[in-house]
Amino acid sequence: MTLKTETITLRPFRTEDAEPLWQSLESETINRLTGTHGTFTREQIDTYVANQIKADSDDRASFIIEANVDKRAVGEVVINEIDRDNHSGNIRIALFDETDFGKGYGTQAVRLMVGFGFRELKLHRISLGVYAFNPRAIHVYEKIGFVKEGVLRDALYWNGEYIDEITMSILEHEYKV
């Protein structure tokens, strides 16, 4: 399945998507925004991508964000922690390269994925966590309809500083297409 806007396509993972994902792990900014402390081997990244290609999991839906202009994989968006009994899930997104920030790719990807979660996955509630040092992302999520629910105080320790994580969610009837 693919989902499209004028500028991006959400599509299934392909083997070659391991390379831009691997490259993204070299970015201090991207690691900070995602709270990624760990280090990974190329083999681990290849395995992760292979598992996304299999897509046989009932508790997640994963897509690559592809720029329509050049067919480049610019990020990934995932609804994970799907709880079928309670019709809920968690969304996360990461762009692979800082040069793609500010182009609307993230906004469009989250909007498409939230719609997919409500229509196709039959979810009622989608939540996320965003670090307090990322007001641009918070603004995007609010624009889509996410509501701040609370704060996980000092949830991330980064470069000697504790950072709050803001919990947000959107309910099915709050989604604006």
The predicted-structure confidence for 141-153, as pLDDT tens digits, reads as follows 999 999 999 999 9
pLDDT band, residue 55 (cuts 50/70/90) = confident
CATH of the domain spanning 3-124, picked from 3.40.50.300, 3.40.630.30, 2.60.120.10, 3.30.1330.60: 3.40.630.30
Confidence of residue 57 (pLDDT cuts 50, 70, 90): confident
What percentage of the chain exceeds 70 in pLDDT?
99
| Contact criterion met (CB below 8 Å) for 72 and 10 | no
Torsion-angle region of residue 95: left (phi > 0), alpha (psi -120 to 50) or beta?
A: beta
Distance CA 79, CA 115 (A): 11
In the block, residue with structure tokens 């966590």: 129
Does the pLDDT at position 59 exceed 90?
A: no
pTM, whole model, 2 decimals? 0.93
pLDDT at 73: 97
Beta strands in 34-146 (DSSP E): 61-67, 72-83, 88-95, 125-131
- What's the pLDDT score for residue 137? 95
In this structure, what is the dihedral angle of CA atoms 150, 115, 176, 32, given to the nearest 10 degrees? 40
Is the model's pLDDT at 38 over the cut of 90?
no
Q: Which pLDDT belongs to residue 74? A: 98
What's the pLDDT score for residue 176?
A: 80
Q: Is 141 a catalytic residue?
A: yes
Mean pLDDT (the chain, rounded): 95
Q: Among the options 131, 141, 157, 162, which is catalytic?
A: 141
Indicate if the alpha-carbon torsion angle 115, 117, 121, 125 is positive or negative.
Answer: negative
Environment class of residue 152 by beta-carbon count within 10 Å: exposed (0-12), middle (13-18) or buried (19+)? Answer: middle
pLDDT at position 56 is 64
Closest CA to 77 of 53, 39, 108: 108
**7 vs 13: CA distance, rounded Å:** 18
Q: Give the mean model confidence (pLDDT) for residues 26-41.
A: 91
How much of the chain exceeds pLDDT 90, in percent? Answer: 91
CA distance 128 to 115: 15
